[in-house]
Amino acid sequence: MTDTLQMLHTAKAACPAAAALSCEEQNAALRAMAAALRRNTAAILAANALDVEAAKEKLGPVMVDRLLLNENRVESMAAGLEALCALPSPLGRVLAKHTRADGLRIEKIAVPLGVVAIIYESRPNVTSDAAALALKSGNVCVLKSGKEAHASAAAIVDALHEGLAACGLPPALINLVQDTTRAAANTLMTADGLVDLLIPRGGGGLIRACVENATVPCIQTGQGICHIFADRSADVQQAVKIITNAKTSRPSVCNAAEVLLVHRDIAPALLPAVREALVEQRIAAGLVPVELRLDAAAAALIEGTPAGEADFDTEFLDHILAVRVVEDVQAAIAHINAHSTHHSEAILTRNTRNAALFTRQVDSAAVYVNASTRFTDGGEFGLGCEMGISTQKLHARGPMGLAELTTYKYVIKGSGHIR
């Protein structure tokens, strides 16, 4: 048995202990874990320095920055654990109740999933965030950090274990896979009966590998080719404001807009204003301008790069926006359903019929009317936290908070009932 498989057996065995914790015990553990993170800041930063040093030789500056920890970032990890204490427990809720005429009582009760495995990449804060969400939802987590962040993750998990120990809780509630190779990832993907949910958090390659190889239940997260459709009746000034926010407020995240579809009747008025805001004004302000990749109809109205077909199927995560002029709302809906990753899409319109058609027919987790796609986030949606953003339809769609990390069971009480 490999070490990873052994770890999964240990994790599975710890599930009853995790499920038995009261909300108060969970919160005490979260607070102790936060204190331990703060206490071990120096050790965590020292481990992180090793990761960063090694990464500088192989990765670009953006990736190195994702990996980098400092005192503020450790403090914000600790504060994140404490913030979870304020949220109600997702466990034990009676989701449905039915008493039959014969007196048999049936209750559908929210319970933990069991072992939740998370495969992620280089952001070290995912280690503590995911561990805390799993704990608060009564689950045992098995974390597989990206190789380049492994020293940081190990130091963070050491601190979390110290916090658990301070509350008399076993380290098996939070597990970090030590093997940083693909073999360990494959073990997680195929550990039927030992992994109750696998969540890949990262780029398309990782998610694709999980979808193709996983035999355990798996939730696809986080890829966002988000669209904004400016309808014929859109308010041009408001549209420019929303498009600018959706594209430029944080281009590297999954809820940023990648594609702008414009109704042909409003294109002559809207596109020059979009170009003014995303290009000229940003250059004047000393900001990175947005590269506009234009279809032929858009290119006839404003300057920009000619768009290739791939530009309408690419998650740029960068200062790039693909722009296409469309015939009407139906054409916009058809384009989105064919090209979207089913994350977040918006219609900008003053026509309530078109708004209703769009929200009904666009097959995505979050569909907006006259608002920026950037709101798709567990915190912004009022869930208090999030484990990721599901782009699939089964079990969880959109931001996954604590409730999405639970399942349910039916508990049926009789007094000798037979069928």
Q: Binding residues for its own copies, per CB under 8 A?
A: 15-16, 19-20, 98, 100, 104, 106, 113-114, 192, 196-197, 211-212, 215, 217, 219, 235, 238, 241-242, 244-246, 249, 355, 359-361, 363-372, 374-376, 380-382, 392-395, 397-398, 407-419
From residue 380, alpha-carbon distances to 22, 135, 227, 398 in Å are: 27, 22, 19, 12
| CA-based torsion, 304, 310, 313, 316: positive or negative | negative
Q: How far is the CB of 406 from its own copies (least distance, A)?
A: 9
Closest CB to its own copies among residues 182, 360: 360
What 8-state DSSP symbol labels residue 419?
Answer: -
Residue 371's nearest CA partner among 357, 353, 359 is 359
Concatenate the DSSP letters of all residues of 150-180 into one string: HHHHHHHHHHHHHHHHHTT--GGGEEE----
Residue 214 beta carbon to its own copies: minimum distance, rounded to whole angstroms = 9
Pick 159 or 173: Cβ nearer its own copies: 173
In the bound complex, what is the minimum distance in angstroms from residue 182's beta carbon to its own copies? 18
Instruction: Name the β-bridge partners of 327.
Output: none
Nearest approach, Cβ of residue 67 and its own copies (Å): 25
Among 30, 121, 34, 123, CA closest to 77: 34
Residue 258 φ then ψ, to 5°: -115, -25
Q: Which is nearer to its own copies, 118 or 149 (CB)?
A: 118
Q: Which CB, 22 or 178, lies closer to its own copies?
A: 22
Q: In whole angstroms, give the CA distance from residue 157 to residue 143.
A: 10
Shortest Cβ distance from residue 387 to its own copies (Å)? 14
**DSSP codes joined into one string, 178-230:** ---SHHHHHHHHT-TTT-SEEEE-S-HHHHHHHHHH--S-B--B----EEEEE
105-112 and 94-99 beta bridge pairing: antiparallel
Nearer to its own copies, 43 or 394 (CB): 394
Please, what is the minimum distance in Å from the beta carbon of residue 18 to its own copies? Answer: 12
Q: What are the DSSP E strand ranges found in 271-358? A: 291-294, 305-306, 320-326, 344-348
Cβ of residue 380: shortest distance to its own copies, in angstroms?
7
Min dist CB 391 to its own copies, Å, is: 11
Instruction: Round the CA-based radius of gyration of the chain to a whole number and report it.
Output: 24
Closest to its own copies by CB, 36 or 257? 257
Considering the complex, state which of residue 261 and residue 389 has its C-beta at the smaller distance from its own copies: 389
- Rounded CA-CA distance 59/62 in Å is 8
CB nearer its own copies, residue 180 or residue 361: 361
CA distance 339 to 165: 49
Instruction: Give the tokens for residue 164.
Output: 């658990």
| Mode of pairing for the β-strands spanning 305-306 and 344-348 | unpaired
Which structure tokens are listed for 81? 């654990």
**Nearest-approach distance from CB 358 to its own copies, in angstroms:** 10
Cβ proximity to its own copies: between 148 and 258 the closer is 258
